[in-house]
């Protein structure tokens, strides 16, 4: 755990953070994003998730995910990683669309931290377009078995710093294990050991992990009956670069 109060701290501690990820497979940053503000955003997210119609897992076009929209991500059909079993709801909320949940400033912070840790200039949407953009999105792993199978992330060139070192990936936590859900959550496999990465986490923490290390999301509260009208569980935010050349 690294206590961070501003982006200058991220830059100053960059090598220590990267080394921590290389050694342990993950680390976390706390202090950049307000736990209280995230709780307020979560109310709006839950209302949206529980009252909207969501698109199916497959058949969604690249143009659609550049809009504010939501889709189920169930089974192994995936544009970016085929045969990756998962059960979650994905909500896209790009920075160039309406800020539906009050999360845009937090997505901006996530992008800043991502690019500082990777060691590159800020990757703005206007510089990435027309073929790429920051795919700002939420993932809801609902109680009743939401999960993502163990996998490694694709080593897309636009997400990498040239040279060696961990493949830096970031996830912003909007929920807390022990409060919003009791079982399951993110894990990494390090030295053939299962490591729970969220046992002491708080909403607003940024989980930093090595995408080339095996990782996933263990079943969220599998003893609870899944309810499409009450998608409580684990909620996270991501801002990775999507490429649709």
> Tell me: the pLDDT tens digits for 213-222?
999 999 999 9
Kindly tell me if the per-residue pLDDT of 243 is higher than 90.
Answer: no
> Tell me: the pLDDT tens digits for 62-104?
899 999 999 999 998 666 666 789 999 999 999 999 999 999 9
CA distances from 122 to 108, 111, 179 (A): 10, 7, 34
Q: What is the reported pTM? A: 0.94
The SS3 assignment for 237 reads: strand
Q: Which of 182, 232, 187 is nearest to 207 (CA)?
A: 187
Cα 185 from Cα 196, distance rounded (Å): 7
Residue tagged 């909403």 (tokens): 203
Helix (H) or strand (E) holding 141: strand 132-142
CA distances from 95 to 108, 117, 136, 142, 226 (A): 8, 21, 7, 25, 31
Report which of residues 238 and 129 the model is more confident about: 238
Which CATH number fits the domain 2-151+160-231, given the four candidates 2.60.120.620, 1.10.1040.10, 3.40.50.1980, 3.30.420.40? 2.60.120.620
Which DSSP symbol is given to 79? S
Kindly tell me if the per-residue pLDDT of 227 is higher than 70.
Answer: yes
Listed by start position, the domains of the chain span: 2-151+160-231
> Tell me: the pLDDT tens digits for 30-42?
999 999 999 999 9
């Amino acid at each position: 755990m690294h206590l961070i109060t501003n982006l200058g701290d991220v830059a100053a501690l960059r090598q220590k953070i990267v080394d921590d990820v290389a050694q342990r497979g993950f680390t976390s940053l706390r202090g950049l994003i307000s736990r209280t503000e995230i709780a307020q955003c979560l109310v709006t997210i839950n209302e949206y998730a529980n009252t909207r119609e969501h698109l199916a897992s497959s058949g969604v076009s690249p143009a659609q995910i550049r809009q504010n929209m939501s889709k189920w991500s169930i089974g192994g059909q995936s544009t970016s990683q085929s045969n990756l079993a998962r059960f979650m709801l994905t909500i896209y909320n790009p920075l160039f669309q309406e800020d539906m949940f009050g999360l845009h400033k937090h997505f901006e912070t996530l992008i800043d931290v991502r690019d500082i840790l990777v060691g590159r200039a800020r990757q703005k949407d206007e510089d990435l377009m027309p073929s790429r953009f920051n795919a700002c999105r939420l993932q809801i792993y609902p109680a009743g078995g939401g999960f993502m199978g163990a996998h490694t992330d694709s080593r897309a060139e636009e997400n990498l710093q040239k040279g060696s070192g961990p493949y830096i990936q970031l996830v912003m936590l909007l929920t807390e294990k022990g409060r919003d859900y009791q079982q399951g959550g993110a894990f990494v496999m390090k030295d053939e050991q299962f490591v729970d990465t969220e046992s002491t986490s708080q909403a607003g923490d940024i989980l930093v992990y090595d995408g080339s290390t095996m990782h996933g999301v263990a079943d969220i509260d599998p003893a609870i009956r899944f309810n499409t009208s009450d998608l409580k569980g684990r909620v996270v935010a991501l801002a990775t670069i999507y490429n649709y050349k």
